[in-house]
Chains A and B, each alone.
Chain A
Amino acid sequence: MSIQKISLQTVVALGLGAGAMTLVSSGTVLSLLTQATIYAVFAIGVGLLLRQNGMVSFGHALFFGAAGYIVGMLLQAKVMPAEWAIAAALLGLLVVSFAMGLVIVRVPGVAFGMLTLAVGQMFYLTASRSRGFTGGADGMNIEWPNSLFGVSMSVLTKPATMFMISWSTLVIVIVLLALLLSTRFGGITEAVRDNEERARFIGIRTLLPRAAVYALSALVTGIAGLLSALNTGFVSPENLHWSLSGVALMMVVVGGYKALWGPAIGAVVYFMAKDILGDYANHWMAIFGVALITVIVFSPTGIAGILDKLFMGRKLAHASHAARH
């Protein structure tokens, strides 16, 4: 894909966000859209691991919650400005997750999923019980300063601004990942995912690319965690709980992981279902569960797969029509 095409798509996507921000006047709707967008970034992180490594994580909430906790604790300790705390949190997550990845990506299949679950729950319990550091089960308020990156906090936390920040982050994350995966790194990780043994016999050392993808997916999830911390000004052990990782996985399955943007669609569908079905049924998740099963049975590639087929079908029809004339 050419740089011009990517640039154009980026501008269009940002324009769509700006349009939505201008057109939607309801704070509640904007707030819902912001949440959906933040979770879209989270789901893209989880989906990236599945797409490039073929691995399912049940513990990615660890990185979602940890980002908020790191910033919260650094701001509480007043050791650095908030901007530096954000950078430190992301860099710290990247380094720690890469080191973790070097160990856990060696474990194949279901065992990997169980290991991520165990590690995630270990941190959940630690955060729940370390009242002095994390506020325990009550969670902690994040003491954001009056301004961040030169913008007043009162402006930043307005629903419209918060939505635009989240939306821009989502677009930038997708574009940067698409660019990265179009390089040699993308090909190497696809080869390792498809056939690790054959990859070794074409000269690829398979551990580093796998660990790098794990760290990258943790970083993306951490970015979502930071957005959530900025949006709510609060972080609690619930942000680390495995059920949150499960929700992100559902978004990935519904949206489809073969396209980078698929999980984002899943996040939007999830929040729409939650909002609309939640008005009529307490146990809306049961209905969503049926939708999930339907997608798995009839379109294992998710909504993105359906859209892709429709789009490709139209493209092919167009091409054959052009060929006939």
Chain B
Amino acid sequence: MQTDDVAIHYGGVKALDGVSITLAKGQIRGLIGPNGAGKTTVINAITGRQPLTRGKVTLLGEDVSHTDAVQRRMRGLSRSFQRTSVFGQMPVRKQVELASHMMGVEDSGADADDVLRELSLDHLSHSIAQDLGYGEQRRLDLALALVGRPAVLLLDEPMAGLSVQESLDLAKHLQALTSRRNVSVLLVEHDMDVVFGISDAVTVFELGRVIAQGTPAEVRANPRVREAYLGSAA
């Protein structure tokens, strides 16, 4: 997956400007930056939730800039949301199975069971989503994004609101899933320990522009990044 010179402008405000990111197969790329830097806007741009002012999005070698969110999802581009986004009144398995079916998976029941097992949600199959704990709902959100074997997964602050232990558990799940399912992950996250702990590459944003890219070690060592964002966390 690749974005080339992607820009989103609201009148004179440049929410994104000239953003080019490449996500290799099976790679986890962390996307960090201060609040309002444009991280969620990048995900919205890639998934077709917000139209581009300029630039293009390429998925598996195909320009998908002019397709809508549903078409991009069908082509293997999946996402989670900053706020937990599940089907509140539906049982867990029913919604994951539905998502799998909508992705055209022939044995959607088996696919749903696989994903639920991988995310340790299988014992909650018959629970209603809104009755789950917050951490379980975050994992259900991830399960909905994972069914149908997407090629690219865009995760918008999946650890937000989780306890330290829950964050560590989810990070562990993420790393295992990425290698097992050979899925590329673009991870927007404020938890620097998680981002630098599981990412193969890191991109740093400031005011809608990329200010640094590289391996976690390179980014940590970048003086501009330390000054603009990491500070003592580095």
Contacts and interface: CB of A to CB of B under 8 A. Distances in A.
Interface of A: 184, 187-188, 190-191, 193-195, 197-205
B86 A202 contact: no
A184 B95 CA distance: 11
B73 A191 contact: no
A195 B87 contact: yes
Nearest to A258: B89
A278 B212 CA distance: 77
B49 to A, nearest CB: 8
Contact of B144 (A184, A187, A193, A202): A202
Interface string B89-104: 1100011001101110
Given A200-B70, A201-B73, A205-B70, A191 B95 contact: yes
A202 B147 CA distance: 9
B177 interface: no
Interface string B53-80: 0000000000000000110011000110
A252 B199 CA distance: 52
B87 A204 contact: no
Given A201-B85, A202-B99, A203-B102, 7 more contacts: A187-B94, A191-B90, A199-B87, A201-B79, A201-B145, A203-B73, A203-B148
Given A187-B94, A191-B90, A194-B90, A204 B102 contact: yes
Contact of A200 (B69, B87, B145): B69
A126 B68 CA distance: 41
A199 B94 CA distance: 13
B89 A190 contact: yes
Contacts of B196: none
Contacts of A184: 98, 101
B214 interface: no
Contact of A197 (B74, B85, B88, B102): B85
Q: How many residues of B sit at the interface, in one of the four size bands? A: 20 to 34
Nearest to A192: B87
B102 A202 contact: yes
A120 to B, nearest CB: 28
Task: List the 7 shortest-distance A-B pairs measured between CB atoms, nearest first.
Answer: A202-B99, A203-B102, A194-B87, A198-B85, A187-B98, A191-B87, A203-B73
B47 to A, nearest CB: 7
B90 A198 contact: no
B229 interface: no
B78 A190 contact: no
Contacts of B99: 202-203
Nearest to A54: B89
Given A191-B90, A204-B70, A198 B98 contact: no
Contacts of B78: 201
Interface in B125-179: 144-145, 147-148
Nearest to A200: B69
A195 B86 contact: yes
Contacts of A199: 87
Contact of A201 (B47, B88, B89, B90): B47
B103 A198 contact: no
Contacts of B69: 200-201
A10 B190 CA distance: 56
Given A203-B70, A203-B103, A190 B87 contact: yes
A93 B74 CA distance: 34
Nearest to B72: A201
A193 B89 CA distance: 9
A164 B74 CA distance: 49
Contact of A190 (B74, B81, B90): B90
13 contacts: A187-B90, A195-B85, A195-B86, A198-B86, A201-B144, A201-B145, A202-B73, A202-B98, A202-B99, A202-B144, A202-B147, A203-B103, A204-B70
Residue from B69, B74, B98 whose CB has the most chain A CB atoms within 10 Å: B98
A53 to B, nearest CB: 13
A198 B144 contact: yes
A188 B69 CA distance: 17
A125 B89 CA distance: 40
